[in-house]
């Protein structure tokens, strides 16, 4: 199959919507990352999504809607907290887990009686959903376990020849995935930190349970496989250094120097300030932006990780970041991309 790269003109979006209605797969930009879309009510399209990604059938998909008013298409009951959050944050980077309507195939929800719903804020995603006139199931448009795509080039690097088309809408503005909140538990449970911060959620609905990081045993239960420990992963070794800021920088210098002395090619993925402090070392580096700007660091994270990975370093280093606001999601993705976590 030849994967078509489409622009964002109305004609291209109409073509993409037509492909979706016919059961084909189309990748498209959202405000978080690129999604791999297929008609949510078409079992064959859903099966094709899992096949194209190499995703285990036990990992459920998010259903994307043009508007919150479409929720009754996929759910039998809207929990009051879900209604409050939809009013506050949709369209936007928030996915709400609600009871599944029988018309949503069980293959979408991996057999669950709940379904994940999201109304994306990206204009291209919105136009596509309106034109398709149907709920669109869309996981991130990467091969399973890889780093999520924030550009059409990233999508093609993983899925060229496996999907009908990708709409190239440029780099995605938020850069990390949506927050996933289970609204069927009381209090609601944060399953994946993302583009809407925990602080923003609690300001609207009060207390939220934060799901502890799963153990390998629990992963078999698959409460949300996006929580799988090693996920969002680069191809090369990534060591994440945690602890007090000054100690972290000293430890990175120490480990990087030791690796260099051993003849290894060393990469670092760090805030600007840290890179400046390490500039005497011969490192392959990718800058995330100033540490004071988590939104910019989020936007750059996956592209920087891919770019560094492509330079074939024997070992990469990153640092743990502050957990406030978007930092929680950044920290979560770094921990899951890491092959090794070290306390400085």
Provide, rounded to whole angstroms, the least separation between the CB of residue 138 and Mg ion: 10
Return the number of the residue (211 or 319) whose C-beta is nearest ligand TXA.
Answer: 211
Cα-trace Rg, the chain: 20
Residue nearest to ligand TXA (CB): 226
| Token code pair at residue 197 | 């911060």
Instruction: Find which of Mg ion, ligand TXA, none residue 147 binds, CB within 5 to 8 Å per kind.
Output: none
* In the complex, least distance from residue 2 CB atom to ligand TXA, rounded to whole angstroms: 23
Angle (deg, nearest 10), helices 152-159 and 294-310: 40
* Six-digit token string for 245: 């800021």
Least distance to Mg ion from the beta carbon of 140, Å?
3
Nearer to ligand TXA by C-beta: 12 or 147?
147
By beta-carbon proximity to ligand TXA, the closer residue of 60 and 267 is: 60
User: If DSSP codes are grouped into helix, strand and coil, which group holds residue 29?
Assistant: strand
Which tokens sit at 158?
């993983």
- Residue 327, contacted partner among Mg ion, ligand TXA, none, CB below 5-8 A by kind: none
Q: Report the candidate in 99, 113, 112, 94 with the shortest Cα–Cα distance to residue 205.
A: 94
Handedness of CA 265, 155, 5, 126 (dihedral sign): negative
- Taking CB within 5 to 8 Å according to partner kind, which of ligand TXA, Mg ion, none is near residue 318? none
Nearer to ligand TXA by Cβ, of 12 and 109: the residue is 109
Q: DSSP state, 279?
A: T
* Bridge partners of residue 343, in order along the sequence: 242
Percentage helix, strand, coil for the chain under 3-state DSSP, each rounded to 5: 40, 20, 40
Copy the structure tokens of residue 126.
């919105």
State the minimum distance, in angstroms, from the CB of residue 110 to ligand TXA: 7
Cα angle value 320/330/96 (rounded, 5°) = 145
Q: How far is the CB of 102 from Mg ion (least distance, A)?
A: 26
Could you tell me the smallest distance in angstroms from the CB atom of residue 113 to ligand TXA?
A: 9
* Interatomic CA distance for residues 31 and 175, integer angstroms: 7
C-alpha–C-alpha distance, residues 212 and 77, integer Å: 27
Q: How many residues bind Mg ion (CB under 5 A)?
A: 1
| Residues 55 and 158: beta-carbon distance below 8 Å | no
CB of 137 to Mg ion, least distance (A): 13
- Closer by beta carbon to ligand TXA, 120 or else 271: 120
Contact stretch for Mg ion (CB under 5 A) within 71-79, 139-147, 190-198, 325-333: 139-147
Judged by beta carbon, residue 140 or residue 224, the one nearer Mg ion is 140
**Taking a C-beta distance cutoff of 8 angstroms, is the pair 201, 190 a contact?**
yes
Residue 140 sits in the site that holds Mg ion (CB under 5 A): yes
Choice between 245 and 325, CB closer to ligand TXA: 325
User: Could you tell me which of 273, 296, 265, 272 has the C-alpha nearest to residue 286?
Assistant: 272
For the record, the structure tokens of 215 come out as 């153990």
Report in angstroms how near the CB of residue 193 gets to ligand TXA at its nearest. Answer: 11
Of 231, 233, 228, 232, residue with least CA distance to 217? 228
Q: Which residues bind ligand TXA (CB under 6 A)?
A: 30, 32-33, 35, 59-62, 93, 95, 97, 109, 112, 114-116, 118, 120, 138-140, 177-178, 180, 191-192, 224-226
* Contact set for Mg ion, span 41-100 (CB under 5 A): none
Q: Which is nearer to ligand TXA, 228 or 318 (CB)?
A: 228
What, of Mg ion, ligand TXA, none, does residue 169 touch, CB below 5 to 8 Å by kind?
none
The site partner of 39 among ligand TXA, Mg ion, none (C-beta below 5 to 8 Å per kind) is none
Q: Using CB under 5 A as the criterion, which residues of the chain lie in contact with Mg ion when the complex forms?
A: 140
């Amino acid at each position: 199959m030849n994967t078509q790269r489409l622009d964002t003109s109305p004609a291209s979006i109409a073509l993409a919507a037509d492909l979706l209605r016919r059961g084909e797969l189309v990748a498209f930009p959202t405000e978080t990352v690129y999604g791999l879309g297929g008609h949510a009510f078409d079992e064959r399209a859903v099966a094709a999504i899992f096949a194209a990604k190499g995703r285990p059938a036990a990992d459920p998909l998010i259903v994307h809607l043009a508007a919150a008013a479409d929720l009754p298409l996929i759910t039998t009951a809207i929990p009051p907290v879900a209604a409050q959050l939809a009013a506050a944050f949709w369209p936007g980077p928030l996915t709400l887990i609600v009871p599944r309507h029988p018309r949503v195939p069980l293959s979408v929800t991996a057999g669950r009686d709940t379904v994940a719903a999201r109304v994306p804020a990206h204009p291209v995603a919105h136009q596509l959903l309106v034109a398709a006139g149907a709920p669109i199931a869309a996981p991130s448009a990467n091969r399973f376990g890889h780093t999520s795509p924030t550009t059409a080039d990233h999508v093609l690097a993983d899925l060229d020849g496996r999907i009908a088309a990708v709409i190239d809408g440029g780099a995605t503005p938020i850069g990390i995935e949506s927050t996933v909140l289970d609204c069927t538990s009381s209090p609601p449970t944060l399953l994946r930190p993302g583009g809407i911060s925990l602080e923003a959620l609690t300001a609207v609905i009060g207390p939220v349970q934060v799901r502890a990081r799963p153990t390998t045993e629990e992963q078999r239960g698959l409460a949300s496989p996006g929580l799988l420990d090693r996920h969002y992963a680069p191809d090369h070794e990534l060591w994440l250094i945690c602890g007090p800021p000054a100690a972290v920088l000293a430890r990175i210098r120490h480990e990087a120097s030791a690796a260099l002395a051993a003849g290894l090619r060393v990469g670092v993925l760090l805030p600007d300030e840290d890179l400046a402090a390490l500039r005497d070392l011969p490192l392959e580096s990718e800058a995330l932006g100033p540490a004071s700007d988590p939104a910019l660091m989020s936007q750059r994270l996956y592209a920087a990780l891919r770019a560094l990975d492509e330079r074939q370093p024997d070992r990469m280093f990153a640092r743990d970041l502050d957990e406030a606001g978007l930092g929680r999601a950044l920290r979560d993705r770094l921990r899951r991309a890491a092959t090794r976590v070290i306390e400085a």
